[in-house]
């Protein structure tokens, strides 16, 4: 069992570790500056797209469906960015929940989680850079 875990499971699951991306790309001054500069716009977008499943009196939250709708309305989908990428951004941006059986918190994205999901989407859509210059392929 130990050999199966070490040789197959751990390498497979380690590629879905959300923390290295946060350390390298999200928790930096440049990203923080952009989010602060556009906070009013982001607040408005979050408010608009976090209404569908919220019951009266509940704190606003965004569902995966609403995040996908946001990406559709912004015309973000193409051959390089698909709905599966939004699903991954949503899931990796969500905080881990202790009790997923008796709680629906893992379906309810807060504003802070929304910001991380947007940053992940922007990172996925950005062309790779080599030597500080964007690499754009025409093939």
pLDDT, tens digit (0-9, with 9 covering 90-100), for 86-136? 999 999 999 876 666 676 677 899 999 999 999 999 999 887 666 655 444
Q: Contact, 118 vs 50, CB < 8 A? A: no
Q: Exposed, middle or buried by CB within 10 Å (0-12, 13-18, 19+), for 104? A: exposed
CB 128 within 8 A of CB 134: yes
Q: List the structure tokens of 138.
A: 């025409």
pLDDT of residue 136: 42
pLDDT, tens digit, 9 for 90 and up, residues 26-72: 999 999 999 999 999 999 999 999 988 888 888 899 999 999 999 99
Domains present along the chain, CATH in parentheses = 28-126 (1.10.238)
Q: How far apart are the first and last CA of the chain?
A: 44
pTM for the predicted model, two decimal places: 0.80
């Amino acid at each position: 069992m130990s050999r199966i875990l070490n040789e197959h499971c751990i390498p497979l699951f380690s590629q879905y570790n959300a923390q290295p991306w946060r350390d390298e790309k999200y928790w930096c001054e440049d990203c923080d500056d952009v989010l602060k500069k556009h906070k009013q716009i982001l607040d408005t977008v979050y408010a608009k797209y976090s209404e569908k499943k919220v019951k009266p009196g509940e704190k606003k939250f965004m569902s995966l469906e609403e995040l996908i709708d946001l990406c559709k309305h912004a015309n973000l989908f193409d051959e390089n960015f698909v709905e599966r990428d939004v699903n991954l951004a949503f899931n990796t941006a969500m905080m881990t929940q202790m009790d997923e059986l008796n709680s629906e918190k893992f379906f309810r994205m807060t504003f802070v989680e929304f910001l991380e999901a947007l940053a992940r989407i922007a990172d996925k859509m950005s062309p790779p850079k080599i030597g500080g210059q964007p690499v754009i392929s025409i093939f």
